[in-house]
Chains A and B, each alone.
Chain A
Amino acid sequence: MTALRTVLGNVLAIYRRELQSYLASPLAYVIAAIFWLLGGFFLVVILFSPEGLLAQVARRDQVLQMGMTLPPLDVAYEFLQGYFGVIGSLSMFVLPILSMGLYTEERKQGTLELLATSPVMNWVVALGKLLAVVTFYIGMVLPLMLCVAIALGTAEPAVSPNLLLVGNLGLILLAASVLSLGMFLSSLTSSTVVAAILTFALVIFLWIVDALARAVPGWLGDALNHLSMLQHFNGFTQGILDTSSVVLFVSYGLLGLFLTAQSIEALRFQRN
């Protein structure tokens, strides 16, 4: 019982320190600002551009008034699909930058030696760090989520808020998985740039897997489909809360944690 409390206390200590270092970092604010700028821009494009959803609805209404029949258009659904597609892609560029410093900074400042000689398990440190960076990411997504909620609030017929919640849950799970693996990659090197490049490579790999999953027929395609994070993320954006998808993301997250703890342990055995 006390052991559990100690572990939780340590996770919290690491979490607080890490989150604080994000909040003290100018780079984090720059990233957030760019993320909001682009996210806001695409929201506007999706809704208000000449080819945007509102224009489509207006044209549709004209056609319907002329007495023609058209297949039904689920505006809210289309909107969410567009939004999550854009935010998902944007995130893929932002996540490597968020995770690149998680361990490289500790190695550069020599603080890894402090952590490694403190009575704290490696995975506790990793978990605290992961939670901190995920929290920062949620902080980045939150304002955009609010805009989307406002836009959806005007939809007619009214849209279930679950749709938005499930989609965002998927987004955060996807981000947590990528960040966790990115954290592992950052523990492999003491160069921040190398860590960022490795994580970008991972993201590109995810896209390739996703593309292959769509293109390759048969069992291989099926298998890739099951492993592809982006495929599972797509499920969430359609409002489908699938347990297997949650399990997959949590597994990727745990894999990242496990690999990070192992890689930090292995550092001890390297020649210095």
Chain B
Amino acid sequence: MIEVDHLHKVYGSTVALNDVSFAVEPGEILGFLGPNGAGKTTTMRILTGYLPATSGTAKVAEYDVHADSMAVRQRIGYLPERPPLYLDMTVEAFLHFVARIKGVSAGDRPAQVTYAIQRCGLEEKHAVIIRKLSKGFRQRVGIAQAIVHDPPVIVLDEPTSGLDPRQNNEVRQLIRSLAGDHTIILSTHILPEVNATCNRVAIINRGQLVAAGKLDTLMAQLTGAVSYDLEVRGGLEDIHHTLRAVPGVAAVESVGQLPDHESRYRFQLKAGDTDPGEAIAAAIVQAGFGLYELRRHQASLEDVFLNLTTEEPTEDMAKAAVTELANDADAASPAVMPEGASAADNTDDPVPPETDS
């Protein structure tokens, strides 16, 4: 439904998009993930025909966004980062106006407007002036204006930014409910959002696609092996030895001794291909050590995201030549993890990102 092929966008001397390619199948929700300034909005604006690409092509519903701009505009619903609302209109009048300029015929307009109002839960607010609506409702009106002409493709740029958690949840549910009938791209820099709403994800950083694919396969590929945190009482050398002998354990690292307890130590284990949790516990008990903690964790999407997007410490993403990134990672092709990303996991960072499991 959406095909993006080798898209480049250059603003003056700044490369905003560098060879971005991906595709979205009908009925899917693609999460477009990346830090601020990564090129999400630029990509979306090219898709909606708001910006021309420097090179490369993008097709929406088989129409080229540049050559057949008018046809694409009719088939796409777009919610920019800031919902484009005429504050002095009522919700209903505004949606009628949008339906009109999106080319909905006069006969279908009332039904389409009612549909959008119902779908977005705006029944009680349909006669209210938009200026008087809360942020959450304005966001819904923004989504309603994107679906009022029943477009096959919906593009949502950070649809939940600035909403409180409850509104957030509602908007996500709404978006999920729209999939199937519509093909959706939504951009975000908030990870749980992707987890919560999307079937597929494309991660973009400094104008380059660093990973793309089904969420679970991507997770499996990118998160790498399982690791364990342990707290064990006994002799340091003995424990070390025992743990290393457990089948399926690839690496054992002693993290330190607990300050209050003479003989209690913390370890970090890296598992191989299999999950050795059971064996670790059994080995410790058999050897007569005291087991105080055994915590399993798998890198979360958040870890993956941070790994993929924070390779260089410089904040100035706009300036940095995106091509440099090519040295860090074979990032041009989708679903490839940068080399060394998994190695970075077990380096000297004792505080893992918060994972409550």
Residues of A within 8 A of B (CB): 6, 9-10, 13-14, 16-17, 20-21, 24-25, 109-120, 268-269, 271-272
Contacts and interface: CB of A to CB of B under 8 A. Distances in A.
A20 B101 contact: no
B70 A119 contact: yes
Interface string B83-96: 11111110001000
A113 B85 contact: no
Interface in B1-56: 11-12, 14, 42, 48-52
B78 interface: yes
A268 B52 contact: yes
20 contacts: A17-B86, A17-B89, A20-B93, A109-B84, A109-B85, A110-B80, A110-B82, A110-B84, A111-B85, A111-B86, A114-B80, A114-B84, A115-B101, A116-B50, A117-B49, A117-B73, A119-B71, A119-B73, A119-B103, A268-B50
Nearest to B51: A268
B97 interface: yes
Most B C-beta atoms less than 10 A away, residue of A113, A114, A271: A114
A116 B48 CA distance: 9
A6 B48 CA distance: 21
Given A16-B97, A116-B50, A268-B50, 6 more contacts: A6-B103, A20-B89, A111-B84, A118-B98, A119-B101, A119-B102
B74 interface: yes
B112 interface: no
A267 B145 CA distance: 23
B145 A114 contact: yes
Contacts of B85: 109-111
Interface of B: 11-12, 14, 42, 48-52, 70-71, 73-74, 76, 78, 80, 82-89, 93, 97-98, 100-103, 145
A120 B70 CA distance: 8
A105 B65 CA distance: 27
B228 to A, nearest CB: 47
Contacts of B78: 113-114, 117
B127 to A, nearest CB: 15
A112 to B, nearest CB: 8
A109 B101 contact: no
Most B C-beta atoms less than 10 A away, residue of A118, A120, A272: A118
B98 A114 contact: yes
A113 B80 contact: yes
A234 B93 CA distance: 42
Contacts of B145: 114
